Amino acid sequence: MVNITFIVDTGCQFSGISGLIDSFTIANRWHATNTGEWSAPLFTTRILSQDGKAVKVSGGFQVIPDGAFQDSLQTDVVVVPPYLPSADLLPANARPLLDWIVARYEQGVTIASVCTGSFVLAETGLLDGRLATTHWFYAKLFKRRYPKVLLEPDRVLTRDKGLICSGSVSAFYYLALHLIEWYGSPHLAAQCSKSLLVDPNKSSQSSYAVFNVHKGHGDQEILRAQELIESHFADSINMKDLARKVGISPRHFIRRFKKATDETPLSYLQQIRIERAKDYLETTLETVNEITQVIGYENSSSFRKLFKEATGLSPSEYRNRFIRGDGGASGVN
């Protein structure tokens, strides 16, 4: 029997926890069907808070836990839920939770995080020098806060020495399948993936990521440069001329742009073009060759290569997966 412990705290997102509990319930049913052992579930789950009292989670509803994590020392897996990262990610009294997680890890317990729960795990220091992932939208913030962590934001799931991170909130399904296979069997995980209608082979978040444009940096000249790039992305943009237009010497322009946006001007332009290409692929019937010209590239082969590097999919694969309404047609290339 595998004991799974879920931690809840004020403001956490509960959907990942409830989804995991449902996934383990389904695993138990398949396990019983396969073995005939209806009285011995493979997984048991419990929810714990800091003091054992009801917790108001994201969305405003209350969760009544099974007890306090401070009173619980024995478990096989601890799962940390998602939070919305901010300047004050954790409450002031989070130290007992962080210490408790570290103590369980030192006992040999597997520690897993869902989505931005990886920020909590990183706060413990356990992820320093180890692989991790998080929701693609918060990857830059994560890198700034925890530079010692080996973040791979394209990954849906990472595991490194008993520390597991999953990407977006819905990636709890992949965490569930990973644990079901790890503690059960590949056959059981396959049965559950079919029951949940989840493709077990998904390994990348990159095709779902949207360019996270950062404009709250306070550098007005760089903000103007961003606006010029976004409004003239299809033109041939000379970065030296752009620097002069916003009143910055070409010598210092790239450094200031990188400091403000975490991107070079060229990578910023490329990502803006890729985002526009996604819109065309999702909503129009235009061919890849036509889209290449519209967004400012002359060579469709180069564009296809850049697009696949950015999304993990070819333009036609992307269109077939994300087409909206009647805007496009499967197979157009």
Distance (Å, whole) CA 248 – CA 221: 8
Q: Is the distance from CB of 200 to CB of 171 less than 8 angstroms?
A: no
Q: Which of 12, 115, 165, 192 is catalytic?
A: 115
Distance (Å, whole) CA 232 – CA 234: 5
12 as an active site residue: the answer is no
Question: 260 by DSSP, 3-state: which?
Answer: helix
CA atoms within 13 A on the CB side of 81: 25
**Secondary structure letter of residue 171 according to DSSP:** G
Q: Is 251 exposed, middle or buried (0-12, 13-18, 19+ CB in 10 A)?
A: exposed
Encoded tokens for 39: 């009285």
Residue 135, Cβ neighbours under 10 Å: how many? Answer: 25
Q: Is the distance from CB of 177 to CB of 200 less than 8 angstroms?
A: yes
Distance (Å, whole) CA 159 – CA 295: 39
Q: Is 319 exposed, middle or buried (0-12, 13-18, 19+ CB in 10 A)?
A: buried
How big is the CA angle at 228 (ends 218 and 248), to the nearest 5 degrees?
A: 60
Q: Is 225 left (phi over 0), alpha (psi -120 to 50) or beta?
A: alpha
Active-site residues, by number, are: 115
